[in-house]
């Protein structure tokens, strides 16, 4: 009886060890992906530091030509205001 209990404990340890190894692999991949994404965002923000670039970012965020889809908020007035501010 004692032998099977030790074997069961070893299996739990091995399973836990495997789980930890897999978890560490997943976390390391996620960290690397986050670092890559962060580098892209920082590079983009650095290249868009001028006033004109700021307005370009705003205009990218709004869709000038489309009407609102069903179930979504109507932001046409906000879009018009942004365009007026950019033109001013």
Q: Report the percentage of the chain scoring pLDDT > 70.
A: 68
Average pLDDT of the segment spanning 61-81: 70
Instruction: Please give the helix or strand (H or E) that residue 26 lies within, else none.
Output: helix 2-47
Residues 64, 41 share a domain: no
Give the integer Cα–Cα distance in Å for 53 and 59: 10
Q: Comparing 83 with 29, which gets the higher pLDDT?
A: 29
The answer to whether the pTM exceeds 0.85 is: no
- Degrees, nearest 5: CA angle 85-80-61: 85
Q: Comparing 7 with 57, which gets the higher pLDDT?
A: 57
State the CB neighbour count (10 A cutoff) for residue 76: 14
**Whole-number pLDDT of residue 55:** 73
- Structural domain count, the chain: 2
**Whole-number pLDDT of residue 27:** 96
For residue 7, the enclosing domain spans 1-47
**Whole-number pLDDT of residue 83:** 80
Give the integer Cα–Cα distance in Å for 19 and 24: 9
Give the integer Cα–Cα distance in Å for 78 and 83: 9
Q: Comparing 16 with 6, which gets the higher pLDDT?
A: 16
Give the integer Cα–Cα distance in Å for 14 and 73: 53
Residues 39, 53 share a domain: no
Tokens of 43: 């590079």
Average pLDDT of the segment spanning 23-29: 96
Residues 17, 39 share a domain: yes
């Amino acid at each position: 009886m004692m032998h099977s209990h030790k074997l069961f404990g070893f299996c739990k340890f091995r399973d836990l060890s495997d789980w930890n190894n897999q978890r560490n692999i997943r976390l390391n991949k996620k960290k690397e992906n986050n670092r890559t994404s962060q580098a892209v965002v920082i590079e983009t923000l650095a290249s868009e530091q001028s006033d004109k670039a700021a307005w370009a970012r705003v205009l990218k965020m709004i869709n000038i030509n489309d009407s609102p889809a069903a179930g979504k908020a109507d932001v046409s007035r906000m879009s018009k205001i942004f365009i007026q501010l950019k033109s001013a």
